[in-house]
Amino acid sequence: MCTRGDKLLEEEIAKVYKSSKAKGASHPVTISPSSHVTPYTPLVSDAEEAATKIKAGEVVKIQLGAQIDGYGTIVGSTVVVPEEKGKKAPITGKEADLLVATHYANELLLRLMVPPGLLASGTEDEKKKAAAEKPPTQSKIIALLDKLAAAYGLHVVQHTTSWQFERNDIEGKKKLILSPVDGTKGEGSAEVGEVWGVEVGLSLGSGKVKDLDKRSTLLRRTATTYGLKRPSSRQILSEIVKKFGTFPFSIRQLDDERAGKVGVVESIRAGVLREYKPAAEADGSPVSRLFTTIGKFGPF
């Protein structure tokens, strides 16, 4: 399904700006099972991962993105797999609460991030008064989202992070971290003219996150430079730079997936590549995620 999604994304990107070569995916298609917190992209060459199936009634997260001239957008959604093929059955119970709460949490967060003063209507005095207001602090944003989640008996997923998007970089200088732990803090607030990737994640369980005993298959090139010693490592890195630049990619998107699994090891150890470690809800409960790209200032 991920491979089919990548092909569809590639076909759609090819239809726009046909004279420009500076375009491509800004995030591979990922399909994450019920309790997974991070985007999941299994490998064809791993028999166990390749056999992963989604089940009827399962909460599934889908994420993908595209970029043109280094300006990237990412979108993510959560769906419940129908019990019967081709038929949309009503979603009820806890899963319904999860989806509804995530929708409202996303709407709340998007509105809280809009810079003060951007009124659609109002008198000049009202506009001036609004423009003079300070944006809500990250502490206030976190408190409001925690309150909304609690109203549905849910928890915000730890380390859910929204980033400022910059050219060729989906993790810019500013960030907002929901449900931070270990003293981790975000910094900065959204301003007019900026682009942000806004993420909301809620859980039917504790909201706490644990790393999974799985290979990291989602990677991204960093700004770190290092003289790689292995020819195979240099060859794979050259392919990554050419195909993906500094945007996230899946090892399955490399020309030779098996060689890629070996070729990225040295780059990861040297910090040339960042790995997104597979993680899930600590107690195995279903998790939802929504991801929206906004800027200048409103949803794309």
CATH number of the domain where residue 236 is located = 1.10.10.10
Report which DSSP code applies to 180: -
Whole-number pLDDT of residue 297: 57
pTM for the full model? 0.91
* More confident: 115 or 159: 159
Amino acid, res. 177? I
Q: Name the residue range of residue 258's domain.
A: 218-269
Q: Which residue has the higher pLDDT, 38 or 118?
A: 38
102 located within any domain: yes
Spatial distance between the Cα atoms of 53 and 236, rounded to a whole number of angstroms: 29
Are residue 174 and residue 235 in the same domain, yes or no? no
Same-domain check for residues 141 and 231 = no
Instruction: Please write the tens of the pLDDT for every residue from 49-63.
Output: 889 889 998 999 999
pLDDT digit string, tens, across residues 28-43: 999 999 999 999 999 9
88, 82 in Cβ contact below 8 A? yes
| Element holding 255 (H helix, E strand) | none
Per-residue pLDDT, averaged over 89-95, amounts to 87
Which has the minimum average pLDDT: 16-25, 69-78, 96-105, 142-151?
Answer: 16-25
pLDDT of residue 296: 65
Asked if residue 233 is part of any domain, the answer here is: yes
| Backbone φ and ψ of 93, nearest 5° | 70, -150
**Token output for 141:** 């944003």
pLDDT, mean of residues 134-139 = 91
As given in the structure block, the two tokens for residue 215 are 């290979």
Could you tell me if 144 and 246 lie in one domain?
no
> What mean pLDDT do residues 93-108 have?
96
On whether residue 278 sits in a domain, the answer given is no
Name which of 239, 233, 294, 246 is nearest 274 in CA terms.
Answer: 246
25 and 97 housed in the same domain: yes
Shared domain check, 134 and 179: yes
Asked if the model's pLDDT at residue 290 lies above 70, the reply is: yes
How confident is residue 125, by pLDDT bands cut at 50, 70 and 90? Answer: confident
Tokens 């730079």 label which residue?
241
Q: Which helix (H) or strand (E) holds 271?
A: none
pLDDT for position 192: 85
CB atoms within 10 A of CB 141: 20
pLDDT at 90: 83
CATH number of the domain that 105 lies in?
Answer: 3.90.230.10
Q: How far apart are CA 128 and CA 138, in angstroms?
A: 23
- For residue 122, name the pLDDT band (cuts at 50, 70, 90): confident
Q: Is the pLDDT of residue 299 over 60?
A: no
- Predicted confidence (pLDDT) per residue in 180-205, tens digit: 988 888 998 888 889 999 999 999 99
What is the average pLDDT across 119-140?
Answer: 81
180, 279 contact by CB (below 8 A)? no
Show Cβ contacts of residue 247 under 8 Å, excluding neighbours closer than 6 positions: 24, 25, 26, 27, 65, 67, 72, 168, 170, 220
User: For the chain, what's the residue count?
Assistant: 300
Report the pLDDT value the prediction gives residue 185, as an integer from 0 to 100.
86
Give Cα separations from 175 to 118, 161, 233 (angstroms): 21, 7, 32
In whole angstroms, how large is the CA radius of gyration of the chain? Answer: 20
3-class state of residue 185 by DSSP: coil
Instruction: Identify the three-state secondary structure at position 160.
Output: strand
Residue 153 token pair: 């008996």
Report the C-alpha gap between 113 and 231 in whole angstroms. Answer: 46
Q: What is the pLDDT of residue 178?
A: 95
Q: What percent of the chain has pLDDT over 70?
A: 97
Q: Is residue 202 part of a domain?
A: yes
pLDDT confidence of residue 119: 59
For residues 248 and 151, membership in a common domain is answered with no
The helix-helix angle for 138-151 and 93-113 (nearest 10°) equals: 160
- Residues 101 and 139 occupy one common structural domain: yes
For the cut 80, the answer to whether the pLDDT of residue 242 exceeds it is yes
Q: Are residues 7 and 45 in the same domain?
A: yes
Task: Write the CA distances from 275 to 9, 22, 124, 218, 232, integer angstroms.
Answer: 23, 24, 49, 6, 18
Task: Give the total number of structural domains in the chain.
Answer: 2
Residue that wins the pLDDT comparison between 118 and 288: 288
Q: Is 277 a member of any domain?
A: no
105 burial level (CB within 10 Å; 0-12, 13-18, 19+)? buried
Asked whether residue 274 is assigned to any structural domain, the reply reads no
Residue 138 lies in a domain: yes
| Arithmetic mean of pLDDT over the chain | 92
Q: Average of pLDDT values for 18-25?
A: 84
pLDDT of residue 86: 73
Q: Tell me what pLDDT residue 138 has.
A: 93
